[in-house]
Structure 1
Amino acid sequence: MTSAATGRPADEAAAAIHDPTHGSFPLTREGKVLFWIAVAFSVYQLASAAHIINLPSQVVRAFHVGFLVLLTFPLVAAMTGKPLPVRILAWALGILGMSVAFYQWWEYVPLIQRTGFPLTRDIVFGVIALATVFAAAWVIMGPALPIISGLFLAYCFFGQHLPRPLNHRGYWFDQVIDHMAYGTEGIYGIPIYVSATYIFLFILFGSFLERAGMIKLFTDVSLGLVGHARGGAAKVAVISSGLMGTISGSGVANVVTTGQFTIPLMKRFGYRPAFAGGVEATASMGGQIMPPVMGAVAFIMAETLGIEYYEVVKAAIIPAMLYFGSAFWMVHLEAGKRNLLGLPRNELPSALRAIREGWYLILPLAALVYLLFSGYTPLYAGTVGLALTALLVLGGTVALGASSIVLRYMFWIVLGIVAASFFRFGINVVLAAAAVLIVANLFVAGGRDTLAACRDALAEGAKTALPVGVACAVVGIIIGTMTLTGIANTFGQYIVSVGQTSLLLSLILTMIVCLILGMGIPTIPNYIITSTIAGPALLALGVPLLVSHMFVFYFGILADLTPPVALACFAAAPIAREAGLKIAMQAIKIAAAGFVIPFMAVYTPALMLQDGGALTEAIGFWPAVVYIVFKASLSIMLWGAAVIGYLRGHLAFWERIVATVAAFMLIMAMPITDEVGFAMAAAFLGWHWWRTRETPQAPASQAGG
């Protein structure tokens, strides 16, 4: 099996943990223990989010890391069928990791009082914390991220021996351990805080929605809307993955859930395996920029920048639409080039019927969007969304047990009033209603199965959160190194010096750094590292703060599509039965918009609904927004035609060259480049239309295959 973390053969368990379709925990006595530990992990996180458990932030983070380590080692050992001595060692490591959490809880006040003057036992527990976190990251994600974080940690110890300007003043062993293992700078920094609050909660939110049938709803709506159109199978993949992105921020999770259906469907209707895998990987990674959830990075970005979460969402709306529009356009052109027709209408579900039957599943998502844009914190909004989803899942079984339709409708009305009452009385009303429904499910037909499904969702949510949480913990070492030594300033000064000559070169340099760091590193640590290093430098060059962070965020996502690692592409490989590198090459082609949008946003921030830029000053904010969206759309259209080699008909080689040059002219924000780009685009489109005006168009409503 290929590891989703490294793109190379690795532990089957590591790949399975990334794969939410892998199923339940091992069906052994040990597996049952791990299952209930995972349930306890989720319950603890929910109790913390709802303030049922009130612990200091430091202790909440410590127990979050403790649960991650406690679950990771024995779960990986059990999944790979390791011999008994190895499994015993795994449990010992997990218990050691959890012991650090209990130590931080027990010694919370004394640790604060002796900050900067740690005792020997503090150092011992600090070393245990670092060692178990590094080992957990290696086991579950492969060697790339632990090695990089280890190099940063080594820099703390030995950086004073390096030549200028890379050296620092030097730090004692106990200084480094105290900085990294206690307080809020190392493994318990902002990334693990976000993991322990927002990320875990939204992973559970997505897990419950999936259990409630959201994937089927998204798939049926997508099939009903575009399944009959030309290349409908691939268009279904784009739309369903985009919709999945509204509840799941994990690109790999999207690949292995929606991809199980869409990739075979695309292959059945004539798409090449590599292209089918590339479509699913590209669309799934786009889920991380699709509001409202936008993956874990958006929460970290809002926390790091000290801005409201909806500001991040607002900046991502137009780029997300362009990204998925680009993917849709690419598959449309590929279908036209290869005459790939749609699915028969009589084999497709009705989109309206799917919405009529499953409209209630959208309510938690709608409530989430409303709360996020009304100024509520993501933590509160996520808690409400999760609670409403639980009400739907639990209430559905109780409603079906009603003796008449009238009682059933009365039940839903009462439940709706209870759900709406949280605006006046708070989340406790919803939690109380959920508790009542849990008891009611014990006494109605099918209720115990519903409770079992909820319990499974808690366990699977905890398992899905393991790679993300462990990554957040180990990447805290890198941030801790930055704050302790100030090494980020050295690289930042270099980017600024390059930018004084050419902003474009600085942007390209930053892009390359993001893509290189993405080789084996998930998007979250990639964003944290690059934003810490390059974000301040781009800001110093006049790039707006949010745009500079979105720039590195986008290329952190694209790093999961670019060779040689291409995390999302290798996750799609076994489903498509094609080499991961071939899928990655197709994904790069399909994800053209992802490479274009960040550069255009730097020169014209209106693309992300931000003030600034010469165009905004010249013509005003909203005219600038309309202009840049039109220009970006036209460049994406030209780029797609050039890459695929098809528009209304097949393109000659020189036509593809003209389309490419016109697209790049529109991307560049230099004097007269827009004028040249529009002129070339008009000439190309006019000529191509004239040349193909009598070409018969194939009908798009027949079945292919």
Structure 2
Amino acid sequence: MSDSQHGGSLPRSVLLAALLFSVFQIVTAAFSPLSSSVVRALHVGFLLLLVFQLYDVRGRRGSGGWSGYLLAAAGFGLAFYHWVFEGALIQRAGEMTTLDMGIGIATLLLVFEAARRVMGVALPVICLLFFGYATFGEYLPGELAHRGFGFDQIIGQLAFGTEGIYGTPTYVSSGYIFLFILFGAFLEQAGMIRLFNDFALGTVGHTRGGPAKVAVISSGLMGTINGSGVANVVTTGQFTIPLMKKFGYKADFAGAVEATSSMGGQIMPPVMGAVAFIMAETINVPYVEICKAALVPAVLYFFTVFWMVHLEAGRAGLLGLKKSDCPDPWRALKEQWYLLLPLAGLVYLLFAGFTPLFSGMMGLVLTVILIFGSALALRIRGTALRVLFWLGLGLVTAGFAKGGIVVPMALIALLAGVLLLVREGRPVLKTAYTALIDGAMHALPVGIACALVGVIIGSITLTGVATTFAGYVVQLGSHSLFLSLVLTMLTCLVLGMGIPTIPNYIITSAIAAPALLDLGVPLIVSHMFVFYFGIMADLTPPVALAAFAAAPIARESGLKIGIRAMQIAIAGFIVPYMAVYAPALMWQFNGEADWLAAAFAFGKALLAVSLWGVVTIGFWQRKLLLAERVLAFVAACLLVVAVPFTDELGLAGAAAFAGWHLYRHRRQPAMQGV
């Protein structure tokens, strides 16, 4: 249930601040009335204003108390220093006054404390270590030492520069990410979760292991929109996990399927948890290229999860729902088809070359128009008039969109809202109000993490520590690229523990990706490699945020769910390695595109993850013998390793395994429930 649907459980000051935050972001995105530096500062100010009102000293959500209100007012007030003295700060850039130092230190302390209250101590401790390195790193021995920096230089870098808390992460958070989170909130309020669940239930609910397959589809689809895998677990998981348990899946498997599917939304284009936009900004590559590189691995990831679910259902003898108990998927689409239009429009604009900011704004406006328009259309009598209404609204919307004019679009949405209020009353206005509140609330953990992670980026930029780390990895890679990849993977898993998707990628890409690039790994592949293993940290014990989020719903140990999730998400651990050795898997070619190489890489990866699946579950047509599992495991490993003749040996091993197992199955048919 959304925050604003609790019947006034949140203080009015919080609701007002959240509403103003959403309106501020929409206005600055549509009209750009303020400079980028001011927008970033006010964005962080709004985050502090909300966090300290919502969370107490122990990090419990409810009320921050009188001290929280004082800190909230201080954090919001300090943001205006960058607006009021914008010109003076630019003129004396690098020369800190006493007042600047006080404002900078206070802002940093507030950001650290806000992040601790929202996300716990993991990210603040990591950032504090980097801050300590920037301050005292000159006293370290050997190559770890840097030349030393004045405290005023460090504060200036972190609290006033464009590589600290107001750096690229905050820029993307204040521009793209907030709009896409708001976009997802409007779609949720419009009924997108219900549409996805009905469609998934209707298409696969009656098949073998149907309830778990429903979780894979609905959670994966919703995860691509809402931008947070953990948040997706606690929303769609309320429906999917009990459904899986009801039909015979073990609690740890049910929780693991939900966690794995929800995190998969972070690697599925077009949104990718908003990381796609940060990656495009970071490496200066068109957004479309990021989506192309991510598509095939994402398909392999979800195929593996779906395959694991299917095999587990066969092993445990689990059937699906009754066909009569499943909704009609085509009826669901017929009744709510208009909900897909904003998503389709967003994808079209992104791939047509429009900026993410413009595309997100247009998608949001289109969603508002459709919510208002659909409710208004229900009041129009007669099918013909209703069709004319939608046609006219669509033509007007398309006409303005083609011209690239955001303001008239917003005016159309406002006009539709006014007309609707006259005819429909309060319900639709309440839907929009709820979505605006929810969007601001959902943005809090992401936004505050983006601000705090700027401490890491600023410290790395100032001291050059990433170059030192890259040197060690490159030195190791001169002897073995595989060992360098393993070291990079472990680094990303450790750095990604307990950290949301976006700061996770920012940290790992700043530290680990340059080393892979120096070893000859293509630019996009190197960043995708660290991004994938940063994501896998949310499924990897001992932290495993997504697994522990599913634990109370599944009523099972988060550790057991995390171990099971690692098995189900095996593609997320294998495909990045395969892409390094076969970049065609991510559509990266040396010279002209070699579609045959891409097709072979995809087919090989598909076979490898399929073999990993049967090895993990221990079942295909029937229960596997130990020797069969060993043979399948060896064949899968050979398909992943990229040295001469391993592909041929892997294919031969896979064929031998398949022939042996099918022969056994035909000679002695599998028993139900084996």
TM-score between the two structures when normalised by the length of structure 2: 0.97
Deviations 1:194-242 (A, max 9, x none): 1101110000000101111111111111111111110011111111122
Alignment of 1:489-504 (within 5 A): 489-504=467-482
SS for the counterpart of 1:97 is helix
CA distance in structure 2 between the partners assigned to 1:24 and 1:118 by the alignment: 46
Deviation at 1:77, TM superposition (A): 3.3
CA distance in structure 2 between the partners assigned to 1:281 and 1:82 by the alignment: 26
Deviation at 1:425, TM superposition (A): 5.7
- Specify whether residues 698 and 417 from structure 1 end up closer, same or farther in structure 2 by C-alpha distance, changes over 3 A only: farther
SS for the counterpart of 2:542 is coil
Which stretch shifts more, 378-387 or 417-426? 417-426
SS for the counterpart of 1:184 is coil
CA distance in structure 2 between the partners assigned to 1:22 and 1:334 by the alignment: 37
CA distance in structure 2 between the partners assigned to 1:230 and 1:21 by the alignment: 33
Match of 1:291 in 2: 269
Report if aligned partners of 1:570, 1:580 keep a CA contact under 8 Å in 2.
yes
Match of 2:252 in 1: 274
Deviation at 1:183, TM superposition (A): 2.1
Match of 1:669 in 2: 642
Report if aligned partners of 1:149, 1:475 keep a CA contact under 8 Å in 2.
yes
Match of 1:301 in 2: 279
The one-letter code sitting in structure 2 at the alignment partner of 1:692 is: H
Report if aligned partners of 1:234, 1:331 keep a CA contact under 8 Å in 2.
yes
1:255 aligns with 2:233: yes
Report if aligned partners of 1:267, 1:276 keep a CA contact under 8 Å in 2.
yes
Alignment of 1:345-384 (within 5 A): 345-384=323-362
Q: List structure 1 segments (4+ residues) > 6 angstroms apart after TM superposition.
A: none
Deviation at 1:402, TM superposition (A): 2.7
CA distance in structure 1 between the partners assigned to 2:565 and 2:386 by the alignment: 48
Which stretch shifts more, 331-340 or 53-62? 53-62
SS for the counterpart of 1:246 is helix
Deviation at 1:291, TM superposition (A): 1.0
Report if aligned partners of 2:228, 2:501 keep a CA contact under 8 Å in 1.
no
Deviation at 1:24, TM superposition (A): 3.9
SS for the counterpart of 1:647 is coil
Point out where structure 2 has 5 or more consecutive residues left out of the alignment: none
- Specify whether residues 589 and 457 from structure 1 end up closer, same or farther in structure 2 by C-alpha distance, changes over 3 A only: same
| Match of residue 49, structure 2, among 70, 73, 78 | 70
CA distance in structure 2 between the partners assigned to 1:520 and 1:466 by the alignment: 16
Report if aligned partners of 2:3, 2:438 keep a CA contact under 8 Å in 1.
no
Report if aligned partners of 1:418, 1:429 keep a CA contact under 8 Å in 2.
no
SS for the counterpart of 2:163 is coil
SS for the counterpart of 1:77 is coil
1:444 aligns with 2:417: no
SS for the counterpart of 2:306 is helix
Report if aligned partners of 2:56, 2:117 keep a CA contact under 8 Å in 1.
no
Deviation at 1:161, TM superposition (A): 0.8
| Match of residue 600, structure 2, among 621, 627, 634 | 627
Match of 1:327 in 2: 305
SS for the counterpart of 1:471 is helix
Deviations 1:130-173 (A, max 9, x none): 01000000000000110110111111111111112111111111
Match of 1:594 in 2: 572
CA distance in structure 1 between the partners assigned to 2:217 and 2:636 by the alignment: 25
Alignment of 1:14-93 (within 5 A): 21=2, 24=5, 27=8, 31-51=11-31, 53-77=32-56, 80=60, 87-93=65-71
- Specify whether residues 305 and 126 from structure 1 end up closer, same or farther in structure 2 by C-alpha distance, changes over 3 A only: same
Deviation at 1:349, TM superposition (A): 0.7
Match of 2:516 in 1: 538
Deviations 1:414-443 (A, max 9, x none): 211121112136222221110101212321
- Specify whether residues 634 and 156 from structure 1 end up closer, same or farther in structure 2 by C-alpha distance, changes over 3 A only: same
1:435 aligns with 2:414: yes
Report if aligned partners of 1:25, 1:32 keep a CA contact under 8 Å in 2.
no
Deviation at 1:332, TM superposition (A): 0.4
CA distance in structure 2 between the partners assigned to 1:82 and 1:576 by the alignment: 25
Deviation at 1:401, TM superposition (A): 2.4
Deviation at 1:356, TM superposition (A): 1.1
CA distance in structure 2 between the partners assigned to 1:149 and 1:108 by the alignment: 27
Which stretch shifts more, 503-512 or 652-661? 652-661
CA distance in structure 1 between the partners assigned to 2:300 and 2:232 by the alignment: 19
Deviation at 1:286, TM superposition (A): 0.3
1:682 aligns with 2:655: yes
Match of 2:665 in 1: 692
Match of 2:633 in 1: 660
Which stretch shifts more, 515-524 or 634-643? 515-524
CA distance in structure 2 between the partners assigned to 1:82 and 1:41 by the alignment: 19
Deviations 1:40-72 (A, max 9, x none): 000000011111x41111000000000000100
Report if aligned partners of 1:21, 1:257 keep a CA contact under 8 Å in 2.
no
Point out where structure 1 has 5 or more consecutive residues left out of the alignment: 1-19
Q: Give me the identity figure in percent.
A: 57
The one-letter code sitting in structure 2 at the alignment partner of 1:273 is: A
Number of residue equivalences: 671
Match of 1:114 in 2: 92
CA distance in structure 2 between the partners assigned to 1:687 and 1:408 by the alignment: 61
Deviation at 1:398, TM superposition (A): 1.8
1:480 aligns with 2:461: no
Root-mean-square deviation (Å):
1.7
- Specify whether residues 695 and 229 from structure 1 end up closer, same or farther in structure 2 by C-alpha distance, changes over 3 A only: farther
CA distance in structure 2 between the partners assigned to 1:269 and 1:254 by the alignment: 22
Match of 1:414 in 2: 392
CA distance in structure 2 between the partners assigned to 1:415 and 1:515 by the alignment: 48
SS for the counterpart of 1:465 is helix
Match of 2:211 in 1: 233
